[in-house]
Structure 1
Amino acid sequence: DPGPIDLLALALGESPSNPGVEIITDDGIKGYRFDESARLLGVNSDVIFTHCHRFPTEFSFIVTYKQHVEPKQSEFIMTLLAQDRRNVIVGIRVLRDRFYFDFRGNDAIEKTSVGFRQPTSAGWHTLIITVTSHTIKFTLDCATPTIVRPPAKFWSKINLRNTRFYVASKRAREKRFTGLLRQLVLLPGADAAIRVCPSPHPHFWHPWMTKLQVGSKFTTVFPDENYLKCFLMENFSVSHQKGEAPECTSQSKGNLFYNDDRTLEICNGVKYQPIRGGAPRMDYVIDFADIDTHSNTTSIEIFEIPNTGWFLATANMDTRGRNRSEIFRWDPIGQKFDHHQFVRSQSATRWKYFEIGPEYFLALANYGGDGVRGVSSAIYRWSRRRRLFLRHQVLAHSHARDVDVFMHNNDTILVLINHDTEGLTQWNVSSFVFKWNPQFRLFQLQQSIPTLGALGVTHFHIAYFTCIAVANGYDGIMSNVQSAVYCIIDGYFRPIQYFETNGAADWEFFVINDRFFLAVANNAEFSLKTGQSETTTTSVIYELNIRDQQFYEYQRIVTHGVNDFEYFKIGNQHFLAAANAKPAEGRHEATSVIYRWMGLEKFVVAHELPIGSCTDLDFVAHGDDYYLAAANPLGQRSKFYKIITF
């Protein structure tokens, strides 16, 4: 879609001097008058049809003109002449009180003419001729169009190579257009009347203009008022009418509304949404809303239930007997999360939202804490009738730190990561893989995986492989242990690569331009022998080598008690956020960091967020807005931040 093609501007641009062309201002509008020395003025069709030398199946011509007297012989406003420069392939001419559109029919030999009566007034007029294979439509000054079915179809397959458009002539001294011509535009592939109309002044239209709906009225506005004054050679001001956006329906899809704040919004068929110039880019982060919980929070999960709303679940620690986590629902009017329901938990560590068919679920990983026995994680199902999450299934006894749910070959897989045994006596424990049984509507144990004080798990898909990365954090002696990547082979997860990690708390998988990355968040370096703990560690980003089918080190990042990596993308920008729970050396407050991928420079610091101790960051894009939720492990107020873009 090349957009509108200004034939008049292209023709005038061929020669700097333009002999025989006179610029005249009439009724405050600039137009052009041509004498016989300008009869060769035009543009070669090869300049326009660069890839395909044929007309599209639908196209339009837009002509803005003024004529003082009716011509007694044909005067050509535009012609497209064949290679011999004699035969007319397409022509627009005026004779007395009628306009004619001439073209070659489907035999490419006989000429076909379709006529339309023009107005008798001598003012400026805009005629739109829309051509399809079966019909010719004339729209004059945005009035009711006249549709004509010609005796012969327009033959769009005629070869236009080496043909030429001539403006205001047929290349001969006679039959030249003697009126004023303001514009001559070709619009391939569309009906130009949709772009120009409705408008009370269509003769002001130009290809660079945009149809807007200002207040409750349609109008047409140039993007640059100074250009408008220069182009029309008259004083012109763009008026703005205050008011709310009109109703957005499927019939008004594509309409634009000019807001009081000088921004544009477009109707998408449901609502008006802001128009951006190009892809959005991250600018800065602001405090947007508080999430007040009944106890400290370890992680946050944001999700949306179709036709119901936007929700946020917090996994809360047990403090002063308050062993319950919370689910909040977004209030679009108040622009905040309101409490929706409590869920009984046991020092919960992670929520995971997922869908199976038409049903909506939440998986909750419960850790239980020191000395707590009989800890179970659970699955909750959304009840449409009660509009609450109800307990659906209790999973095996565990001290779970993370849970992930994903699809593999149409099966729903749930991985529950256990940290230790009851009483903190053993960290070499089994984590569990469950598979959904659609007949019993329950998760059934499929496999166990040996883990070492594991803290996190994340799944990813590469080609036909489904894999998980397990973050092992502690073996009972030290935090320097191996974490592992498992992939499904012959129906079971099998280890394919091990990594040296230091108190690994989380893995994050992401893709940038067909390159596959894994980032491990190394939380702390601890040794039972020395009793020393260091939270300033080096976290590592790995990149997959497709040929070797192995991840190799890509970059190291200094982190401070990091618990979570969160990858997100805004427009064409890629980011990796580190949720730091401890302050850097010399600082009193923990600072989370957002890194931006910069190609050869790799990930560089883009933003430092002084948000205090944070154990989880959750990114969400909602409409045209972007947010980050931050879990506060030291207090009862987590935060919801908004990312400002431009």
Structure 2
Amino acid sequence: MKRWGLLRQLVLLPGSDATSRVCPSSNPRLAVLSVPQALLTMPITPTGNDIVPLYPYGDNNHNIDSVIYRWNPGTKVFEVNQTLETHGAYDWEFFSVGPYHFLVVANTFDGNNHNIDSVIYRWNPGTKVFEVNQTLETHGAYDWEFFSVGPYHFLVVANTFDGISTSINSTIYIWLGGMFQPFQYIKTVGATDWEMFQVKDRYFLAVANGQKLNERGPSHYNINSTIYELNVITQTFVKFQDIVTNSAVDWEFFSVGEEKFLVVANSHDGTSYSLNSVIYRWQGYEGFVPIHRLPTIGCTDWEYFNTTAGSFRLF
């Protein structure tokens, strides 16, 4: 059977469209696009020809409600089901544990502080709304990833910035006693994304590290992102492989036949947004090795999907 492969690259540049000349500028002037939102509130100015103060929120209100919409099969449209108080919300993750259904929000910034609670909500089938189930302390939370290993359920948060530095701990939580409790702390550097994946009977977590930043000294964008593997003996995730990335914003794992791949969204190298994002192939003992370098501009997301026509990687 013939398989078609496409990778979707999400490029957020104003004035661009889906033509063959998408993002014609190799030096877009909106220098804040590919830098994680949580980092952009620091009073730091980037270097280069285009100097843009990193204050993305300006005077905007960060404390804006998020909205849950519910499909109405009668009208065949999505209608407002519920609004939830959020603070600079950057990600939602839905998951289930047994018969219970949850949503967790990554609250990034409330206008004054990055060190704020993110919230887990549980679906109440009686009232048909999500209700607060648990709050977790986070630091510029940017992404949540839920996964299961055997009978155990985990949540991991990408903590991006604590108001001083991006070199902080991100936390893996485990479901115990009807709630999520800290399982392991992992040092990350402006973490923007976690991707969990499995290769045969081995479990991995890949973190996208976006930017090394603190109150003193220059920012660093060309830093390691790291793949961790679950060690079943120590019952912890241990470092498996470092991969040099350029302000990485997303990892996507996918399979084509028996082949396993990871693709990274590289967004900025400190000088330019026009650079390669890279596809890596699983090589067993060698880990993931680069096989394709794809020209991208301020790349922020990759997505892999399947249809009845085959497997697609759209870009």
Alignment TM-score, normalising by the size of structure 2: 0.81
Instruction: Classify the secondary structure of the residue corresponding to 1:600.
Output: helix
Equivalent residue letter for 1:605: P
Give the corresponding residue for 1:392: 81
Unpaired runs of at least 5, structure 2? 17-36, 38-55
Residue matched to 1:402: 91
Residue of structure 1 equivalent to 2:227: 541
The Cα shift of 1:411 comes to 0.8
Cα distance in 2 for residues equivalent to 1:492 and 1:285: 40
The reply on whether 1:565 has 2:251 as its aligned counterpart is yes
The 5 A counterparts of 1:22-61 are none
- How far off its partner does 1:464 sit? 1.1
Q: Identical aligned pairs, as a percentage?
A: 33
2:231 is the counterpart of 1:508: no
- 1:337 aligns to what? none
Is the 8 Å Cα contact of residues 437 and 443 (structure 1) preserved in structure 2? yes
Q: Which amino acid aligns with 1:400?
A: A
Q: Give the Cα–Cα distance (whole angstroms) in 1 for the partners of residues 280 and 175 of structure 2.
A: 32
The Cα shift of 1:388 comes to 2.3
Residue 576 of structure 1: aligned partner = 262
Q: What's the CA shift string for 1:273-328, capped at 9, x where partnerless?
A: xx45xxx6x8x6589xx99999689xxxxxxxxxxxxxxxxxxxxxxxxxxxxxxx
1: CA distance, partners of 2:269 / 2:307: 31
**Mapping for residues 59-458 of structure 1, pairs under 5 Å:** 275=1, 285=6, 369-373=57-61, 374-422=63-111, 425-458=112-145
Cα distance in 2, alignment partners of residues 584 and 294 from structure 1: 18
| Aligned mates of 2:139, 2:11 — CA distance in 1 | 34
Whole-Å separation in 1 of the counterparts to 2:97 and 2:146: 11
Q: Distance in 2 between matches of 1:513 and 1:471?
A: 25
Please give the secondary structure, in 1, of the residue aligned with 2:299. coil
Match of 1:269 in 2: none
| Aligned residues of 2:88 and 2:110 also touching (Cα < 8 A) | yes
> Is the Cα–Cα contact under 8 Å of residues 477 and 529 in structure 1 kept in the other structure?
no
Change (3 A) 1:613 1:493: same
How far does the alpha carbon of each residue in 1:448-494 deviate from its partner, in whole angstroms, 9 at most, with x for none?
A: 00001111110000111111110111111111001010011101110
- Indicate the residue corresponding to 1:489 in structure 2: 176
Classify the secondary structure of the residue corresponding to 2:297.
Answer: coil
Name the CA distance, whole Å, in 2 between partners of 1:426 and 1:382: 35
Q: Return the alpha-carbon distance in structure 2 between the equivalents of residues 578 and 292 of structure 1.
A: 14
CA contact (8 A) 1:594 1:608 kept: yes
Q: Give the whole-Å Cα distance in 2 for the aligned partners of 1:588 and 1:475.
A: 25
Deviation at 1:626, TM superposition (A): 2.6
Task: List per-residue Cα deviations over 1:388-415 (Å, max 9, x = no partner).
Answer: 2222111123211111001101111111
**CA RMSD of the aligned region, Å?**
2.6
The number of aligned residues is: 276
Tell me what 1:551 maps to: 237
Give the letter aligned to residue 536 of structure 1.
N
Q: TM-score when scaled to structure 1?
A: 0.41
What is the CA–CA distance in structure 1 between the aligned matches of 2:265 and 2:97, rounded to whole Å? Answer: 30
Offset at residue 574 of structure 1 (A): 0.6
Greater C-alpha radius of gyration = 1
What is the distance in 2 between the residues matched to 1:286 and 1:619? 6
- Give the residue type in structure 2 aligned to 1:465: Y
Distance 1:292 1:459, change over 3 A: closer
Cα separation, 1, equivalents of 2:144 and 2:290: 26
Partner of 2:285: 600
| 1:620 matches 2:308 | no
In 2, distance between residues paired with 1:497 and 1:291? 32
Task: Measure, in 2, the Cα distance between the counterparts of 1:481 and 1:285.
Answer: 35
Q: Which amino acid aligns with 2:291?
A: A
CA distance in 1, matches of 2:215, 2:240: 31
Question: Does the CA contact (< 8 Å) of 2:7 and 2:302 recur in 1?
Answer: no
Q: What is the CA distance between 1:420 and its match in structure 2?
A: 1.3
Equivalence for 1:465: 152
**Distance between the aligned counterparts of 1:385 and 1:526, measured in 2?**
51
Q: Take 1:526 and 1:294, find their aligned partners in 2: how far apart are those partners?
A: 24
Contact 1:583/1:591 (8 A) holds in 2: no
In 2, the alpha carbon distance for the partners of 1:446 and 1:453 equals 21
Match of 2:186 in 1: 499
Residue 83 of structure 2 aligns to which amino acid in structure 1? V
> Which whole-Å deviations, capped at 9, do the CAs of 1:126-170 have from their partners, x for residues lacking one?
xxxxxxxxxxxxxxxxxxxxxxxxxxxxxxxxxxxxxxxxxxxxx
Q: How far did residue 442 of structure 1 move?
A: 0.5
Closer/same/farther in 2, CA of residues 612 and 427 from structure 1, 3 Å limit: same
Q: Which amino acid is 1:522 matched to?
A: N
Verify the 8 A CA contact 1:437 1:444 in the aligned structure 2: yes
Cα distance change on mapping 1:411 and 1:474 into 2, 3 Å: same
Which amino acid is 2:311 matched to? Y
Using a 3 Å threshold, how does the CA distance of structure 1 residues 584 and 527 change in structure 2: closer, same or farther?
A: closer
Contact kept? 1:591, 1:613, Cα under 8 Å? no
Aligned to 2:214: 527
TM-superposed deviation, 1:385:
2.9
Query: Could you say if the C-alpha distance between residues 438 and 294 of structure 1 is closer, same or farther in structure 2, counting changes exceeding 3 Å?
Result: farther
* Aligned-partner Cα distance in 1 for 2:259–2:210: 27
Following the alignment from structure 1 to structure 2, what is the Cα–Cα distance between the partners of residues 501 and 291? Answer: 24
Say if 1:543 and 1:553, in contact at 8 Å, map to a contact too.
Answer: yes
Aligned residue for 1:414, secondary structure, equals: strand
Verify the 8 A CA contact 2:11 2:298 in the aligned structure 1.
Answer: no
Distance 2:127 2:106 in 1: 24
Q: Which has the higher contact order (CA 8 A, sep 6+)?
A: 2
User: What amino acid does structure 1 have at the position aligned with 2:168?
Assistant: V
Contact 2:267 2:273 in 1 (8 A): no
- 1:560-591 deviation per Cα after TM superposition (whole angstroms, max 9, x unaligned): 01111111111111111101111487x76122
Structure 1: distance between partners of 2:160 and 2:135: 18
